[in-house]
Structure 1
Amino acid sequence: MDLISNLFEMAPFIALFITLSLGYMVGKITIGRFVLGGVAGTLLMGVIIGQFGVNIDPGVKSIFFALFIYAVGYQGGAKFFKALNFRTINILLSAVVMTVSGLLCVLAAAYMFDLDRGTAAGLAAGGLTQSAIIGTAGDAIARLGISEEAQHIMQTNVAVGYAVTYIFGSLGPILMVTWVFPTLMKWDIRAEAIKLEKESSDGRHELAPGEFNALTSLVTRAYSITKDSSINGKTIGQLNQNSLQACIELAERDGKPLELDKFTALREGDLIIITGRRNAVHEIQQQNIGAEVSLPENYEIIEENRQLIADNHSIIGKSVRQIKEETNKDTYRGVYVTEYIREGAPIEVTPDLIVKKNDVIQLTGTAEDINRVENNIGKRLGSATITDFIIFGLGMVAGFLIGLINFKIAGIPVTIGSGAGCLVSGLVVGWLRSKNPHVAQFPEGAANFIRDFGLAAFVGIVGLQAGPQAVETIKEHGMTLLFLGMAVTIIPQIISFFFSYFVLRIKNPIEALGCVTGGRSANPAFAALMEKTGNATPVFSFTVTYAVANVLLTLWGPIIVGVITLNAGM
């Protein structure tokens, strides 16, 4: 035991990574329909391993949480600002119901079990997982005008109540949003998240691990030109001139590649190969172009997908058809459009689609052909594997600066906090990225890693720090405070969930669960919900309720101290 304690003292991050490894291992254990999950497993293992005494600078926890919440904000930024509407009012009210019911539960527990002001405030801080209550309640106790001894006892009791109730305060919401509520309502969280993602993405289905679309968007077809073919005698340039999403890439005559130019006309017996989007190729096929033939398995046509940002002023305001005709003028071979993205969301490509500045147009064709037209469209989109660390760094700086903002409500100091600050900056940078693809590149793989590793490390450190003090306090004060903390954690969630679902009509499962996590600033629960959904669909409801909860829960500290009249040591 001493050997392990000494090891963790010399290298505390060994304890952290052991916690992560064992936590996610435990999280895979399945009992019936119940799966603990990696986040909850990491929290529990952190409490256990924390008994050896692991000292990790609290600033490290803040950094990991800031990285996690920034990545979450970045990924949900574009959709968050699009989703803001009158429906947001109900989501805001959901947070109010959660926080107010939490306050009432704390006050009821204090009166029923004769808790002093400090213990009641600690119960609120841990049971509702709002650490800021410790500070606001402690400050309010210092202004009561009582003896220094009584002040010291009650301020200590704030920390004691927090330590005893905080672990279940973190674990309880995880269990409620990932198991209890979904089981009770018979919801499949992952399926509901995919459904919501599909609805908010104009019907595009988000693929789960291992899934793929059997109907590929791009196809290749080969045709032998017959005597009565509609393209017999026409040149490749004529055929490709008006084709928007498909083109003839090459041709063969007498078994040999045909040296194409804009004057070379096709004739009976020639073999042509058409590539493009499935529906576009089908439309060409309906024009009696010839008899479809099969190609050898080892036949190769090497093409490239290249995303270009529409920033050339000569194409802004023109239709895709106009641009295609002008770009391919006097050429025998062309490129075709396979995807079109506006403000971070794919939209349908039609000939009459008007190009707007900073739209992202994906062209497909040979590298030589795309190089020929690239300058007519705009600059290439940044590499999908390179992070724009300039904007990433500035975004994090902005988040921490926002977190320093503090103000007073009814004389009570309220601080935004680095978590909320980085969430705001991440949302703004994600929205900026959707508006201007030139900046703020943050590849999906990199964002997912920062998000997942950040939340795992954050939860692990929470467990390591809270474990020893909580166990000692439980031994000293018995189980009453622990059970009261469980009640304060669970009851407001039940009230808020069903009130939101049946009264406020927040019927979407992911939004309803997001309101539960945000309404009590339950960061580990939100992380666990994100783990279950596998996408960013809970971000909107969590973000809106999180902002309200941060302010209201912080205010509950002095209110509890003011309403409760029992002082300790007097």
Structure 2
Amino acid sequence: MATWEWVVAILRGSPELAIFLALAIGYWVGGIKLGNFSLGAVTGTLLAGVLIGQLGIDISPQIKSIFFIMFLFAVGFGVGPQFVRGIASDGLPQAIFAIVISMLCLASVYIAASISGYGPGLAAGLLAGTQTISASIGLATNAISQLDLSPEEIQQQLDLIPVAYAVTYLFGTVGTGWIIAFLGPKLLRINLQEECKRYEKEMSVGASEDGMHSAWHKYIIRAYELTTPGLIAGKTVSEAEASVDGRLFLENLRRGEKIIPFDGDTVLQVGDIVAVSGNHEALVEWSNRAKEVADPELLNIPVESVDVFITNKKANGKKLIELAQQPMARGVYVTRVRRGSMGVDIPLYAQTKIHRGDIVTINGTKKHIDDIIGEYGFADRPTSITDMVLVGAGIVLGGLIGAITVPIDGIPITLSVSGGALIAGILIGWLRSFIPKLGTVPSATLWFMNSVGLNIFIAVVGITAGPTFIAGLQQVGFEIFFWGLFATAVPMVLGPLIGKYIFRFDPAINLGCCGGARTSTASVAMVSEQAKSNVPMLGYTVPYAVSNTFLTLWGMVIVILLS
């Protein structure tokens, strides 16, 4: 008992330890999986914070403010390219769809709160839990703190946020996934697997007979001696490369004892030894026309795999099959395309479009890769250095702009410092997509700012609300769970129908758009599992970027509407 009292005294005297304890427990509990479901780090940390908060630990509110503003900047920075592209280019229908679904999410929460008589605290928690948008809690907290209420009333409202969030989050996560993945195809009256197969076939137009996987993924180099006139010997390099199906390239040429330079017009001769790169099937075809030999010197060609951050508008909106036909794409093989702040893997098909801000992983010789990098972007090589001038200045400038207050009908309207940091992150992330010298924020840093920044904020919320959590739960009763069912289900039931009849989305990506518009990565993963295809992910990134911003801002808006 004495040991327990000693631990409690230490946690009360050093609240920073209580925060880290909540993080440790939260990430551990949140990582436990029951089938495909897990609570996630945010909910795990909130519950751990509430439990630890029963000890009566005082924590400065400045701690959560610092980490929350850091989190919002990281969110904006990550979604910036997709957000702006969606608003300004061919992603506009998906962006508008995301705004419509975001408005439905806000309306469903507002209706539930108005009918049930909930105040801004419960409404904010209801929004965060049913829409699984934990970031909205921060902006709601800031907005409630500015209300014309006594300090006691403000604290009472703030303490109710985690109560409503905890009660409604479970169905907000599981229910969204179930509605989209299982009910969605029935609402659309489609066979999801068949639609995805049809879409894959359409997207593969222009690929080799073996498909984009063979044409783009496998990279082998072999050496061949040309022994028979008229097969390969006697043709130009360009003609020889085009003589087989699939992508095949001459990388080196030995004539006599010397390795000589060559171009597409160089005529190959009997006795030449060539180093050829390509997919396995194409090289097998070549082996029937030439003699494979061992030539270590000829095959000593530097080969690397590099992530390329696409910045040039020449690549923006271009299909892979179009880029493959460009001279600088010679000898380069695409193995992966990631998009958005979540690094979503985009399926590789001939008709897959590349967007500015994508990270494209390519394999090939150093010379060819350098040509691609120089033409389309910059090498996103691993680095541990963060440009804190960019991060610090961006947060300050955004915060200053967000702090500006505009009175409308006597109501002070402001983005708040936190909302300004979010907008600043979006603009800077977008600018960096075509001005890479603006600064570097490595993916590991973004993860820390995004995940740990949010969870420290949530830990403080939970610890602070801990002493009154049980009382708050008794006050709101089980009724709020059913309002949570309503607020979660309404937007997701209407979403697929709106996507089908108003926006005319392709059935294969419709449900991906719905999951993105609800910022629910788990639900889209469930859709892909049901579809046995990653095609739905093609509709995910633009709606996610737009809705992630709007749903976060709704934390402030719902307080204003109910105040």
Shorter-chain TM band: 0.5 to 0.7
Displacement, 1:46? 1.2
In the alignment, residue 183 of structure 1 is paired with which amino acid?
A: W
Tell me if the contact between 1:230 and 1:287 (Cα under 8 Å) persists in the aligned partners: no
Structure 1 counterpart of 2:109, one-letter code: G
Q: What's the counterpart of residue 248 of structure 1?
A: 250
- Displacement after TM superposition at 1:447 (Å): 2.6
Post-superposition offset of 1:301: 3.8
Q: Which has the larger radius of gyration?
A: 1
Q: How much does 1:294 deviate?
A: 6.7
Secondary structure at 1:56's aligned position in 2? Answer: coil
1:479 counterpart SS class: helix
Q: Which residue does the alignment assign to 1:74?
A: 77
Q: In structure 1, what residue type is equivalent to 2:273?
A: L
Counterpart for residue 156 of structure 1:
152
Change in Cα spacing, 1:452 to 1:106, as seen in structure 2 (3 Å) is closer
1:489-504 equivalences under 5 Å are 489-502=484-497
| 1:219 matched to 2:220 | yes
Question: Residue 177 in 1 paired to residue 172 in 2?
Answer: yes
Report which stretch shifted further, 390-399 or 533-542: 533-542
Partner of 2:315: none
Is the 1:50–1:464 contact (alpha carbons within 8 Å) kept by the matching residues of 2?
yes
AA paired with 1:458? Answer: F
Are residue 134 (structure 1) and residue 130 (structure 2) matched? no
Using the TM superposition, give the Cα deviation of residue 268 of structure 1 relative to its aligned residue in structure 2, in angstroms.
3.6
Query: CA 1:541 to 1:52, structure 2 compared with 1: closer, same or farther past 3 Å?
Result: same
Is 2:559 the counterpart of 1:554? yes
Using the TM superposition, give the Cα deviation of residue 226 of structure 1 relative to its aligned residue in structure 2, in angstroms. Answer: 1.4
> Aligned partners of 1:309, 1:441: CA distance in 2, in Å?
14
Amino acid at match of 1:174: Y
Describe the superposition over 1:34-73 as per-residue Cα deviations: whole angstroms up to 9, x where unpaired: 4322221121111111222333332222332333332332
Instruction: Output the amino acid matched with 1:25.
Output: W
Q: Secondary structure at the match of 1:131?
A: helix
Task: For residue 184 of structure 1, report the CA deviation from its aligned partner.
Answer: 4.3
Structure 1: gaps of 5 or more residues: 111-118, 142-151, 205-212, 312-318, 328-333, 351-356, 518-525, 559-570
**TM-score, normalised with respect to structure 1:** 0.65
Q: For residue 274 of structure 2, what is the amino acid of its counterpart?
A: I
Residue 274 of structure 2: aligned partner:
272
**Structure 1 residues 528 and 60, CA gap change in structure 2 (3 angstroms):** farther
Deviation sequence 1:170-204 (CA, Å, 0-9, x none): 22453233212213444599xx9xx99xx99x969
State how far apart, in whole Å, the 2-side matches of 1:555 and 1:177 are: 23
User: Percent identity of the aligned residues?
Assistant: 24
- Most deviating of 404-413 and 96-105: 96-105
Shift of 1:225: 0.8
Distance 1:107 1:516 in 2: 22
> Is 1:99 matched up with 2:106?
yes
From the superposition, tell whether residues 89 and 377 of structure 1 become closer, same or farther in structure 2 (CA, over 3 Å): closer
1:7 aligns with 10
Return the letter of the residue paired with 1:469: T
Q: How many Å separate the matches in 2 of 1:537 and 1:86?
A: 10
What's 2:547 paired with? 542
| Pairing 1:61–2:64 present | yes
**Is 2:49–2:466's contact at 8 Å kept on the other side of the alignment?**
yes
Aligned residues: 484
* Counterpart amino acid of residue 22 in structure 1: I
Match of 2:44 among 32, 37, 41: 41
- Secondary structure of the corresponding residue to residue 436 of structure 2: coil
Structure 1 counterpart of 2:303: 303
Conservation of the 8 A alpha-carbon contact between 1:308 and 1:363: no
Cα shift readout 1:262-284 (whole Å, capped 9, x = no counterpart) = 699865444321125x49x94x9
The residue that corresponds to 2:115 in the other structure is 108
Change (3 A) 1:442 1:487: same
Contact 2:74 2:425 survives alignment (8 Å)? yes
